[in-house]
Amino acid sequence: MFISFEGLDGSGKTTQAALLAEAARAAGWEVVSVREPGGTAAGERVRTLLLDPEARIAPWAEALLYAAARAQLVAEVIRPALDRGATVIADRYVDSSLAYQGVARGLGVAEVLEVNLAATGRLLPDRTILLELPAGRAAERRDAVADRIESEAEHFHASVAGGFADVARRFPDRVVVVDGSGPPADVAARVQAAVGL
C-alpha cells in the first residue's frame, strides 16, 4: 500500500507520517518512509537547490525539478518497495506539486499532473491524508528559519490551501481530509482510522 501525507508547511504532516509508520510497524507491517523532495542521493541534491533562498528558479523549472526528484524516488525506492509488498509512507508526493506549482504558481493542475504522471510511470497513492488546520494555524507552527518556498507571502500559502482543497475535490476516492488540530495522538488516531489500521 502506498500512503502519502499532504498539507501546508506547519500542518503536522511530518509528525503524523512518523507516528503512522511507528504504529504500522508495531502492527507487523514492513514500512518504508520517504520524504519529498529528496529521499535519494540525487533527489537530496535537487532538494538543496529547490529550497535555497538565494536560488532564482522559474515556475516551470521549479515544477520540473520537483518532478525530477520524484521520478528518481519512485524508480529507486518507492516502486521496488511496493513490488516486494512493503507499505510506503510518503511525507508529500504529487499533490504538493498540484497545489504549490499547479495552483499557487499558476501552472495549472492538469498540466502539472500530466508531467508528474509521465515522471512516475503514473504511480498515484492508494490513500492520501490531507491534514487540515484552521487558516493561520499552520503559519504559526512553521520553522523560524524559512526556506525558499516557506518564505513566500501569506497569499501564496492561502492559494496553496485552496489548491489542496481543489485536489481533495478532484480525487475523492483517494484523498481523505483529516482534521489536524488538537494533540498529535488524537490526530494520529484519526489518521489510523483513515488507512484502516
Q: Is 100 in the site for ligand TMP (CB under 6 A)?
A: yes
Q: Is 164 in the site for ligand TMP (CB under 6 A)?
A: no
The amino acid that residue 74 corresponds to is V
Stretch that binds ligand TMP, among 16-24, 82-90, 92-100, 188-196 (CB under 6 A): 92-100
Stretch that binds ligand TMP, among 53-61, 71-79, 94-102, 129-137 (CB under 6 A): 94-102
Residues 47, 37: contact at Cβ < 8 Å? yes
Q: Which three cell numbers stand for residue 30?
A: 514492513
| Binds ligand TMP (CB under 6 A): choice among 2, 5, 66, 164 | 66
Diameter of the chain by CA atoms? 45
Q: Is 117 in the site for ligand TMP (CB under 6 A)?
A: no
Cα(33)–Cα(196) distance, rounded to whole angstroms? 18
Cα(77)–Cα(152) distance, rounded to whole angstroms? 31
3-state SS assignment for residue 49: helix
Q: Is 157 in the site for ligand TMP (CB under 6 A)?
A: no
Q: Is 111 in the site for ligand TMP (CB under 6 A)?
A: no
Instruction: Tell me the closest approach of the beta carbon of residue 181 to ligand TMP, in angstroms.
Output: 19
Instruction: Tell me the closest approach of the beta carbon of residue 91 to ligand TMP, in angstroms.
Output: 6
- Between 96 and 128, name the residue whose CB sits nearer to ligand TMP: 96
Q: Which three cell numbers stand for residue 102?
A: 499547479
HEC string of 145-179 equals: CCCCCCCCCHHHHHHHHHHHHHHHHHCCCCEEEEE
The amino acid that residue 194 corresponds to is A
| Binds ligand TMP (CB under 6 A): choice among 92, 115, 130, 138 | 92
Binding site for ligand TMP (CB under 6 A): 9, 36-37, 66, 92, 96-97, 100-101, 149-150
